């Protein structure tokens, strides 16, 4: 597959056209940002870890019936994906109180919920990705009612599966963010990535943070945390 012109550069990835109009190449970067881009830095080796880990998890999710944009891993940082039109809703599933949830509702971190919660934010950097509900999404024509129901169903299924994958390696899946896209025929598939950038992951015994919160909160040991998750998940 031939990498052609760069179509887009985001906070963590670059996207390139290919010789196939239905496929793109995503190239992961070591750049790190937090707080809507206000904090910037570099996490060495992050691009390779996030690319390989995300691909590994998407392959496992596909086997369990969750359609994704993943096609083929080309190298440590580059992956072929199906071209999608991203639905501008970030989907956040939470199993344990942490981060903005704890801050917003004035509760401590670490409360295990009886059932997972779901929330949407409007994917719009200029507005700071504000929280949004399904009625707002319909009013703004971001997605149809059927698409929203499909996204919710897949999101909860991904949560059940990911929680199981992480439990096997001694990690609690605290919360995570997903993005979905439409293929050219309108089919909804899981897109973007699943990595320590997009998930809160705590060691189940020590509750040590093994994710991007180490960067956000200046806890140090960011690279080590990402490598630890990769090692447990993929044995390397």
**Three-state SS string across the chain, please?**
CCEEEEEEECCCEEEEEECCCCEEEEEECCEEEECCCCEEEECCCHHHHHHHHHHHHHHHHHHCCCCECEEEECCCCEEEEECCEECCEEEEEEEECCHHHHHHHCCCCCCEEEEEEEEEEECCHHHCCCEECHHHHHHCCCCCHHHHHHHHHHHHHHHHHHHHHHHHCCEEEEEEEEEEEECCCCCEEEECCCCCCCEEEEECCCCCECCCHHHHCCCCCHHHHHHHHHHHHHCC
| Structural domain span for residue 68 | 3-82
Is residue 69 a part of any domain in this protein?
yes
Sorting pLDDT into bands at 50, 70 and 90, what band is 1? Answer: confident
Rounded mean pLDDT of 16-35? 94
Domain assignment present for 229: no
Domain boundary among 82, 100, 118: 82
Among residues 54, 82, 110, which one ends one of the domains? Answer: 82
Would you say residue 158 lies in a domain? yes
38 and 93 share a domain? Answer: no
Is the confidence at residue 186, as pLDDT, over 90?
yes
pLDDT of residue 155: 98
Exposure string (b/e) for 205-229, b if CB count within 10 Å is 16 or more? eeeebbbbbbbbeeeeebbebbbbb
Whole-number average pLDDT of the chain: 96
Q: Is 145 exposed, middle or buried (0-12, 13-18, 19+ CB in 10 A)?
A: exposed
Per-residue pLDDT at 36: 81
Radius of gyration of the chain (CA): 17
At 109-133, the pLDDT tens digits run 999 999 999 999 999 989 999 999 9
Both 177 and 146 in one domain: the answer is: yes
Give the confidence band of 219 by pLDDT, cuts at 50, 70, 90.
very high
Q: Are strands 31-34 and 39-42 parallel, antiparallel or unpaired?
A: antiparallel
191 and 74 in a common domain = no
Range 210-219 average pLDDT = 94
> Domain of 103: which CATH number?
3.30.470.20
pLDDT at 236 over 80: no
Nearest CA to 230 among 13, 54, 89, 4?
54
Q: Specify whether 74 is located in the same domain as 100.
A: no
Task: Report the C-alpha gap between 48 and 27 in whole angstroms.
Answer: 9
Query: For 31-47, what is the mean pLDDT?
Result: 89
80 pLDDT higher than 80: yes
Q: Residues 92, 139: one domain?
A: yes
Same domain, 151 and 66: no
Predicted confidence at residue 152, as pLDDT, reads: 98
Tally of domains within the chain: 2
From 80, 82, 65, select the one nearest 186 (Cα to Cα).
Answer: 82
Q: Specify whether the CB–CB gap between 233 and 56 falls below 8 A.
A: yes
Predicted TM-score (pTM) of this structure: 0.95
Note the pLDDT of residue 35.
84
Q: What is the mean pLDDT of residues 136-147?
A: 98
């Amino acid at each position: 597959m031939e990498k052609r012109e760069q179509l887009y550069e985001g906070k963590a990835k670059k996207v390139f056209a290919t010789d196939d109009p239905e496929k793109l190449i995503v190239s992961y970067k070591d750049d790190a940002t937090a707080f809507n881009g206000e904090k910037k830095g570099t996490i060495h080796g992050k691009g390779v870890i996030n690319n390989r880990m995300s691909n590994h998890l998407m392959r496992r999710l596909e086997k369990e019936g969750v359609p994704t944009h993943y096609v083929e891993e080309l190298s440590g940082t580059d992956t072929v994906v199906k071209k999608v039109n991203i639905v501008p809703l970030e989907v956040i599933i939470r199993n344990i109180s942490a981060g903005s949830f704890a801050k917003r509702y004035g509760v401590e971190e670490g409360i295990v919920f009886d059932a997972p919660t779901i929330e949407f934010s409007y994917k719009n950097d200029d507005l700071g990705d504000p929280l949004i509900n399904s009625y707002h999404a319909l009013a703004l024509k971001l997605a149809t009612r059927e698409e929203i129901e499909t996204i919710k169903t897949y999101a909860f299924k991904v949560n059940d599966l990911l929680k199981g994958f992480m439990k096997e390696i001694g990690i609690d899946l605290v919360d995570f963010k997903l993005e979905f896209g439409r293929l050219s025929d309108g089919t909804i598939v899981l897109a973007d990535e699943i990595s320590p950038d997009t998930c809160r992951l705590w060691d189940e015994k020590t509750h040590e943070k093994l994710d991007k919160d180490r960067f956000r909160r200046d806890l140090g040991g960011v690279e080590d945390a990402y490598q630890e998750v990769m090692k447990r998940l993929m044995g390397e």
